[in-house]
Structure 1
Amino acid sequence: MASKVRFTVGSNVWVEDADVAWIDGLVEQVTGDELIIRCTSGKKVTANVSSVYPKDAEAKRCGVEDMTRLAYLHEPGVLHNLKSRYGMNEIYTYTGNILIAVNPFQRLPHLYNNHMMEIYKGAGFGELSPHPFAIADRAYRYMMNYGVSQAILVSGESGAGKTESTKMLMQYLAFMGGKVQSGGRSVQQQVLESNPVLEAFGNAKTVRNNNSSYMSSHISFVSQCSRFGKFVEIQFDQSGKISGAAIRTYLLERSRVCQISDPERNYHCFYMLCSAPAEERERYKLGDPASFHYLNQSNCIKLDGMDDSSEYIATRRAMDIVGISSDEQDAIFRVVAAILHLGNVEFVEGSEADSSVPKDDKSKFHLRTASELFMCDEKALEESLCKRVIATRGESIVKNLDARAAALSRDALARIVYSRLFDWLVNKINTSIGQDPSSKLLIGVLDIYGFESFKTNSFEQFCINLTNEKLQQHFNQHVFKMEQEEYTKEEIDWSYIQFVDNQEILDLIEKKPGGIIALLDETCMLRNSTHETFAEKLYQQFKGNQHFSRPKFSRSDFTIHHYAGHVTYQTDLFLDKNIDYAVNEHQVLLHASRCSFVSSLFPPSEESTKSTKFTSIGSSFKQQLQALLETLSSVEPHYIRCIKPNNVLKPAIFENSNVLQQLRCGVRNSITLIYFTGCKV
């Protein structure tokens, strides 16, 4: 939004600054389109009038609760307002009906207790200070008053506080729609207690290096975040009471099970189990978590502010509430322990050519322990890791795997077991909670990964960023296109506002045929294909595409020009990560387990045991996203945009440049809309 204000000597203005993004000052001289400005920092700058914005000299020190009330709604005004409020520990601000939440990186329990929920209950929107409870109450009132299902979309990058905001929304909806418990576990209890269970198995501490083109900071920071997406549908009866629920999850980051970077952590459940009571650790033959390969690839074992021992007990308690029996819990953690032991099995060259065997007595111990925990035959487990059966013209040939291939086979088994375990947990929770087939009303809460761009971006980041492209388009369509269509229909005089329409980027990724996912699937199905083959297909297909480029000095990387910035992807693991199947030897081995739980994770395959049908994770995920978007399009949406104020994840620090990049990536369209509509949202 270019400035259209006429400045005079003495005008209060905002001017761009390399250090703090925007700085305020006074105009000292006007020469045509050139302004000389003395900044409050003391330095004097010359700037073109088109890059200078007016400052409200009478703005309140504590800012305004709703940015539609700003005298000047522009980038520096919005940034300064959020910073002013954050400095007063006011972490929530409205832009019309959209709530912006700036992560405080500290507990503020007084904001979220029952007393606060009572205050927001039934209050008119905007009458009280901005709060997630107000968004939840508004969604609930709309549902009850108009009989229309609702959804609350919580977005923001990793570390911005999406998961915590989601918990608060669910807490409020349970408060409003909870039934008096008459015995047993209530639906609202089970919905709330599903959070710690899924967090134990789907959350991890991650490291994020913000050195990408859309970030201005180059500081490494750590955060605990969900490594899966979650959409919770809470169903209500006609009286507004919770009658059922369903949890849908998306794209668990299964590669994390076997590979983490320093100083990341693996999924919380591994460390919890290693901190369980002594008799349980002894039963699973567990010791120091640092002794396990899948955990000690990083120097971070303990997490500040997190007591793994207490979290283990809390997770077991939550499992009780959501209906997971103690036998099932024991089986779950036996599988978790088996995965840890499996990761410690190393291989060396065997006596035959290109063969492999466990490296030493230590590896044999862990192999034996894993087989005991899986309740399968030890020799069969070893052979499933070290050999492959290849079917050719009616006969089967046993092929040896070398030490490197055996290690890859081991990791593949660990990943598929963990993935099946996570899916079992989600299905079990959904079965225990139960859905209400007669319900006509629901409120969905979406907590899904934010836009990601790291030093290394693999298949997971590709799928995550596709998600964000789809959600951004949904935001555009709902907020902009519908708003402008309404203005045209009502013959209101207005000027068309340009906004980022990312349909061409979505076509690049998911168009059939010829999109990136389609070309990936095609490459996966061809024998002897490599990631270089895949990359070359992309280079040929998208040569000249304005949203795609090939980085210099790269043989197989590619860059997509996303709505939020350019991201370069490394293709070396794309093919492996896109193929979803259990190795036949692993499938047969674990289906034959004497443990009914383990066996149930690997039901008989419908495919011939001599071949494995290729299933594309990318295409399956695309279909899941499409179903999610269809659901979101059928309900009335509400938005919460979460902002990470600094990259060191500490309270009371507000980094202007960091926040500004997030505003430009996610919130700018809503701000533009308010400016355009004259504060009508």
Structure 2
Amino acid sequence: MSTAVNIIVGSHVWVEDTAQAWVDGQVTKIKGKEAEIQTADGKTVVANLSKIYPKDMEAPAGGVDDMTKLSYLHEPGVLQNLRTRYELNEIYTYTGNILIAINPFQKLPHLYDTHMMQQYKGAPFGELSPHVFAIADTSYRAMINEGKSNSILVSGESGAGKTETTKMLMRFLAYLGGRKATEGRTVEQQVLESNPVLEAFGNAKTVRNNNSSRFGKFVEIQFDKHGRISGAAIRTYLLERSRVCQVNDPERNYHCFYLLCAAPPEEIEKYKLGSPQSFHYLNQSKCFELVGVNDGSEYLATRRAMDIVGISKKEQEAIFRVTAAILHLGNIAFTKGKEVDSSVLKDDKAKFHLKMAAELLMCDPVGLQDALCKRVMITPEEVIKRPLDPLSASFSRDGLAKTIYCRLFDWLVNKINVSIGQDATSKCLIGVLDIYGFESFKNNSFEQFCINFTNEKLQQHFNQHVFKAEQEEYKKEAINWSYIEFVDNQDVLDLLEKKPGGIIALLDEACMFPKSTHETFSNKLYQTFKNHKRFIKPKLSRTDFTIAHYAGEVQYQSDQFLDKNKDYVVPEHQDLLSVSKCSFVAGLFPPVAEESSKSSKFSSIGSRFKVPFISNGCKNPG
């Protein structure tokens, strides 16, 4: 953000403001390194000269469509330009070949109709107004003309509009590379219709966004030698498991649970469902409906989308039976049993929900109760069933619900991929990466840690391409330019992922030691990083930690980091469901190979999640 402009008395400048980020004004006095500024809203402020920036007095009234045309490419100049355009309903602006989109929080159908698609098809980049179609068209032309695969990265804060942008990109690519409608479903139709299915099971309302993707997605669209879509694959990352059992007010659980509670009466009767308010996994928040969304209609739309992507009626019935079973599982409450540290079902309501969960999962109700309330200990002499106290039984119940839901989501992704079909002979592909935005909530757990780690990786990728590479080019060509300062976030990435001493490595280490707790893990972090400028120990907490990310400081609560990092299925749950009388449920829990069940090799979510971004960069995170 440094500028080489000399600021004098009378200069029009931008100065920081706590309420508006930046306000404009005029310098009235300069004394040493301090300047007095009369702001446009009539205030007088004093600021350090290094903290004020020149205002472009010749900028067009409607802003510029490419930020490289700005006289000063600094933060207040960029923000003012975006704001000016946004107020004119111009939601897209270029910065060179990067497109910045600002969420209008309203439908703008005229921007994405067939007429617009026709206009942008084959138009030279920059000839027409900035648009997401121009980015897709450039990517497609580069693939056709140069025979090279490429990827489009969609990144931004939570609620910025990434998922909708991804849909627009895919619609336009389907328009460019689609086939004429013939008999049967086309690949592009199925790719587009996979969206409602994945959104129903992978999206939820958060504080920031009514349709927030709670997973990362990389869509790989394959093309034949004629430039027509010939196959596709969807890869997903890090579904937010904890949301299944834990919802903060005013957020919602995954959409599918509410859709099912609004299903036709015969479905409600078949699955013995009530209103969302009657289920523990949904009523931890008081938000049950979304403004402008009819869950009953969305349920039917999801079923239609399932038809299109090749999920049979029988499979659909099994999917929603499992979804209902998870809701019933959540209502199984426990109380103290007669034995020490044992638990029993709390009341008749808990017994009813256990019976319903067992019926829907087609497993033995006594076996289900045992799997929730007991643990099997195998010693050289005997097999002992050890009872669990009510709290441990509740954890066991939640663990089972999360495992079933994650297996169901993975099954859906796999089914969609098999149904769409991959083209093994494809020479070129275009990847679209829709990855969760940077998150900073009141409470930030392991999911936010992984999400923000991803965004740090993307930010570095952006820095490398936009700042480092461009400026190296300038140097090489001996172009006279003012060096642009940017925050290199390599030190944050080292803090997070370096081996052996980064946070992820220390977390894995803690997960492998039986006596580790979140307290011992936090203390290890405090010790290891006490002098790291990006790591902060909060004064008022004994187990939280703060990381100074590129997008700001985030305070993380470590209390569930160890549990969430372990990719572990309780053997009793595995044994119970692998013999379910429902082939669909049994298929979600295939028998575990004996070697892997005996193997003590530890597998963690954090380490596996890290791998695609390291080995493949963002080219093909699969």
Q: Is the pair's TM-score, using the shorter chain for normalization, greater than 0.5? A: yes
Check if 1:378 corresponds to 2:365: yes
- Aligned residue in 2 for 1:631: 619
The counterpart of 1:403, out of the listed 390, 393, 400, is 390
SS of 1:620 mapped into structure 2: helix
Check if 1:619 corresponds to 2:607: yes
Structure 1 residue 252: Cα displacement: 0.2
8 Å CA contact 1:272–1:309 kept in 2: the answer is yes
Distance 1:94 1:369 in 2: 55
8 Å CA contact 1:228–1:250 kept in 2: the answer is yes
8 Å CA contact 1:26–1:38 kept in 2: the answer is yes
8 Å CA contact 2:261–2:275 kept in 1: the answer is yes
Distance 1:317 1:412 in 2: 31
SS of 1:561 mapped into structure 2: strand
- Aligned residue in 2 for 1:566: 553
Distance 2:357 2:290 in 1: 27
Q: Give the alignment of 1:444-459 within 5 angstroms.
A: 444-459=431-446
What amino acid does structure 1 have at the position aligned with 2:576? L
Distance 1:92 1:141 in 2: 21
Distance 1:26 1:511 in 2: 47
Change (3 A) 1:103 1:293: same
Change (3 A) 1:609 1:627: closer
- Aligned residue in 2 for 1:215: none
- Aligned residue in 1 for 2:168: 168
Change (3 A) 1:287 1:623: same
Distance 1:464 1:47 in 2: 36
Distance 1:578 1:185 in 2: 40
Note the residue ranges of structure 2 that are not aligned, 5 or more in a row: none
Check if 1:89 corresponds to 2:89: yes
8 Å CA contact 1:391–1:611 kept in 2: the answer is no
Structure 1 residue 349: Cα displacement: 1.2
Q: Give the alignment of 1:212-361 within 5 angstroms.
A: 221=208, 223-361=210-348
- Aligned residue in 2 for 1:475: 462
Deviates more, 1:388-397 or 1:136-145: 388-397
8 Å CA contact 1:250–1:624 kept in 2: the answer is no
- Aligned residue in 1 for 2:189: 189
Query: TM-score if structure 1 supplies the norm length?
Result: 0.88
What amino acid does structure 2 have at the position aligned with 1:618? G
Check if 1:549 corresponds to 2:506: no
Change (3 A) 1:632 1:342: closer
Distance 1:610 1:379 in 2: 25
Structure 1 residue 37: Cα displacement: 3.5
- Aligned residue in 1 for 2:201: 201
CA deviations over 1:60-109 (Å, ceiling 9, x no partner): 22211111122332222211111111111111111111111111111111
Note the residue ranges of structure 1 that are not aligned, 5 or more in a row: 208-220, 635-681
Percent of counterpart pairs with the same letter? 68
- Aligned residue in 1 for 2:570: 583
- Aligned residue in 2 for 1:149: 149
Distance 1:449 1:269 in 2: 20
SS of 1:153 mapped into structure 2: strand
- Aligned residue in 2 for 1:664: none
- Aligned residue in 1 for 2:447: 460
- Aligned residue in 2 for 1:44: 44
Change (3 A) 1:351 1:434: same
Change (3 A) 1:541 1:26: closer
Change (3 A) 1:633 1:455: closer
Distance 1:497 1:61 in 2: 26
Structure 1 residue 526: Cα displacement: 1.4
8 Å CA contact 1:557–1:571 kept in 2: the answer is yes
Change (3 A) 1:567 1:44: closer
SS of 2:617 mapped into structure 1: helix
8 Å CA contact 1:3–1:52 kept in 2: the answer is no
What amino acid does structure 2 have at the position aligned with 1:115? H
What amino acid does structure 2 have at the position aligned with 1:620? R
What amino acid does structure 1 have at the position aligned with 2:167? K
The counterpart of 1:436, out of the listed 423, 426, 434, is 423
Distance 2:193 2:342 in 1: 48
Structure 1 residue 534: Cα displacement: 1.3
- Aligned residue in 2 for 1:139: 139
Structure 1 residue 473: Cα displacement: 1.6
Deviates more, 1:106-115 or 1:19-28: 19-28
Change (3 A) 1:45 1:492: closer
8 Å CA contact 1:374–1:595 kept in 2: the answer is yes
Structure 1 residue 628: Cα displacement: 4.7
Distance 2:536 2:33 in 1: 37
8 Å CA contact 1:556–1:571 kept in 2: the answer is yes
SS of 1:233 mapped into structure 2: strand
Structure 1 residue 612: Cα displacement: 7.6
Distance 2:547 2:20 in 1: 29
Structure 1 residue 483: Cα displacement: 2.5
Distance 1:82 1:152 in 2: 22
Q: Give the alignment of 1:478-627 within 5 angstroms.
A: 478-492=465-479, 497-607=484-594, 613=600, 614-627=602-615
Structure 1 residue 485: Cα displacement: 3.6
Change (3 A) 1:490 1:57: closer
8 Å CA contact 1:102–1:160 kept in 2: the answer is yes
SS of 1:477 mapped into structure 2: helix
Distance 1:558 1:38 in 2: 41
8 Å CA contact 2:158–2:209 kept in 1: the answer is no
What amino acid does structure 2 have at the position aligned with 1:406? A
SS of 1:551 mapped into structure 2: coil
SS of 1:206 mapped into structure 2: coil
Structure 1 residue 47: Cα displacement: 4.0
What amino acid does structure 2 have at the position aligned with 1:341? H
Structure 1 residue 494: Cα displacement: 5.5
Change (3 A) 1:353 1:611: farther
Change (3 A) 1:117 1:248: same
Change (3 A) 1:64 1:358: same
Distance 2:376 2:503 in 1: 32
The counterpart of 1:369, out of the listed 348, 356, 364, is 356
8 Å CA contact 1:23–1:39 kept in 2: the answer is yes
Distance 1:559 1:298 in 2: 27
What amino acid does structure 1 have at the position aligned with 2:612? Q
Distance 1:358 1:374 in 2: 19
Structure 1 residue 632: Cα displacement: 5.2
Check if 1:106 corresponds to 2:106: yes
CA deviations over 1:122-180 (Å, ceiling 9, x no partner): 11111111110111111111111111111111111111111111111111000101011
Deviates more, 1:440-449 or 1:413-422: 440-449
Structure 1 residue 51: Cα displacement: 3.1
Q: Give aligned pairs, total.
A: 621
What amino acid does structure 2 have at the position aligned with 1:583? V
Structure 1 residue 523: Cα displacement: 1.4
8 Å CA contact 1:584–1:609 kept in 2: the answer is no
SS of 2:461 mapped into structure 1: helix
Distance 2:525 2:38 in 1: 51
What amino acid does structure 1 have at the position aligned with 2:471? Q
8 Å CA contact 2:157–2:439 kept in 1: the answer is yes
Change (3 A) 1:543 1:56: closer
After superposition, the CA RMSD in angstroms is 2.0
SS of 2:154 mapped into structure 1: strand
Structure 1 residue 576: Cα displacement: 0.7
Distance 2:151 2:610 in 1: 20
SS of 1:629 mapped into structure 2: coil
Check if 1:426 corresponds to 2:405: no
Change (3 A) 1:307 1:52: same
- Aligned residue in 2 for 1:20: 20
Change (3 A) 1:432 1:633: closer
